[in-house]
Amino acid sequence: MKDNIIHKASEMFMTLGFKSVTMDDIASEMGISKKTIYSHFNNKETIVAVVTDAIFEKVTKDINGICSFNKNPIEEIYDIKKRVMEHMHNEKASPWYQLQKYYPSIYGNIKKRQFSFMQNCVVENLNKGLDLDLYRQNIDVQFVARIYFNGITGIKDEDLFPTSMFNGKSLYEMYLEYHLRGIVTPYGRTILNQLIQSNQD
Q: Residue 156: its pLDDT value, please?
A: 84
The per-residue pLDDT of the chain, averaged, comes to 91
The pLDDT, as a whole number, for residue 167 is 82
Q: Which of 162, 52, 172 shows the shortest CA–CA distance to 107? A: 52
> Do residues 145 and 119 lie in contact, with contact meaning Cβ atoms separated by under 8 Å?
yes
Facing residues of 112 across strands? none
The reported pLDDT for the residue numbered 42 is 93
Query: Check: CATH 1.10.357.10 for 52-200?
Result: yes
C-alpha–C-alpha distance, residues 176 and 179, integer Å: 5
- Region of poorest pLDDT, from 14-23, 27-36, 85-94, 165-174: 85-94
pLDDT of res. 133: 97
Q: Is the pLDDT reported for residue 87 higher than 80?
A: no
Lowest-confidence pick of 26-30, 74-78, 160-164, 184-188: 160-164
Per-residue pLDDT tens digits for 18-68: 999 999 999 999 999 999 999 999 999 999 999 999 999 999 999 999 999
pLDDT value at residue 175: 94
In the predicted model, is pLDDT for residue 90 greater than 70? no
Instruction: Name the residue ranges covered by the structural domains of the chain.
Output: 52-200
Write down the pLDDT at residue 92.
Answer: 53
The arithmetic mean of pLDDT across residues 101-114, rounded, is 95
pLDDT band at 94 (very low <50, low <70, confident <90, very high): confident
What pLDDT is stored for residue 4 in this prediction? 95
